[in-house]
């Protein structure tokens, strides 16, 4: 019950990492404010967690819209009287090299992945100062390294990784801890199309030392740690949760290739 009585906002809470994070915070006693662009899946998630009666559900919230995000934070504080944790999780991704991406896809990724956390953090920080609270941004190893055909996603995740560091430097003196979790491949609805390809699944089985993609619940555990008092001296950190994928230098597997 690390979060008993704490008020937590989770964006992109209807599925994937956001849903797993909401479930974990609920089990540990948090008062939840859940936001998602998809209304019915969010309501279903609240019913499944048995929190619909006492949680704040901000359905059809577009994190790329500053007014909607500001309204989310204001409504949360009005209902619960405080704010302790903000989890910026809402995400979107489009495959493509820079020569293949449309302007609208490029701007959509930056609007959701960068503008959204910026808007939410800007609105939340005045309240988090009062509670000495925490922000956890969901970054990615794609924000720390380059990928094939993920130019826009890599660029946007790179921006949120460094925004995390910058906000930690700026707002640490006010008692707010700001960190990011940086997952590798995770089995979520957003990645379902890719992980439906057996060739990609085999690649992760070979490339990831743990031999598989991650589970949303494993990322939720990392988010909750960073948000909790157990990480009271962790600030400006980007916690990689990728099964060891980025621990490799990318050399061939000599154990398999050489006698």
One digit per residue, the tens of pLDDT, for the chain of length 259 reads 999 999 999 999 999 999 999 999 999 999 999 999 999 999 998 888 888 656 887 778 999 999 999 999 999 999 999 999 999 999 999 999 999 999 999 999 999 999 999 999 999 999 999 999 999 999 999 999 999 999 999 999 999 999 999 999 999 999 999 999 999 999 988 888 888 889 998 999 999 999 999 999 999 999 999 999 999 999 999 999 999 999 999 898 888 888 8
Q: What are phi and psi of 182, to 5 degrees?
A: -120, 90
User: What is the DSSP secondary-structure string of 63-102?
Assistant: TT-HHHHHHHHHHHHHHHS---EEEE-------B-TTT--
Per DSSP, what are the bridge partners of residue 8? 32, 85
| Confidence at residue 50, expressed as pLDDT on a 0 to 100 scale | 82
Instruction: Name which of 226, 205, 133, 143 is nearest 174 in CA terms.
Output: 133
Q: Which residues are catalytic?
A: 153
Inter-helix orientation angle 116-131/66-80, to 10°: 20
* pTM (two decimals): 0.96
Q: Domains in the chain and their CATH numbers? A: 7-240 (3.40.50.720)
């Amino acid at each position: 019950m690390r979060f008993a009585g704490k008020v937590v906002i989770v964006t992109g809470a209807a599925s994937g990492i956001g849903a797993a994070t909401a479930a974990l915070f609920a089990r540990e006693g948090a008062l939840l404010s859940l936001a998602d662009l998809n209304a019915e899946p969010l309501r279903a998630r609240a019913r499944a967690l048995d929190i619909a009666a006492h949680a704040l559900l901000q359905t059809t919230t577009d994190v790329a819209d500053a007014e909607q995000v500001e309204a989310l934070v204001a409504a949360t504080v009005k209902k619960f009287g405080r704010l302790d944790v903000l989890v910026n999780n809402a995400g979107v991704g489009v495959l493509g090299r820079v020569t293949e991406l449309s302007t609208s896809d490029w701007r959509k990724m930056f609007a959701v992945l960068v503008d959204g956390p910026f808007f939410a953090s800007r609105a939340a920080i005045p309240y988090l100062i009062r509670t000495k609270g925490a922000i956890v941004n969901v970054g990615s190893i794609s924000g720390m390294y380059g990928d094939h055909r993920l130019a826009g996603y890599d660029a946007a995740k790179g921006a949120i990784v460094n925004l995390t560091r910058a906000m930690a430097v700026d707002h640490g003196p006010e008692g707010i801890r700001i960190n990011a979790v940086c997952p590798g491949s995770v089995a979520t609805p957003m990645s379902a199309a890719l992980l439906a390809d057996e060739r990609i699944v085999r690649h992760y089985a070979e490339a990831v030392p743990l031999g598989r993609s991650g589970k949303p619940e494993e990322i939720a555990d990392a988010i909750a740690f960073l948000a909790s008092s157990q990480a009271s001296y962790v600030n400006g950190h980007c916690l990689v949760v990728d099964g060891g994928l980025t621990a490799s230098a990318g050399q061939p597997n000599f154990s398999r290739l050489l006698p």
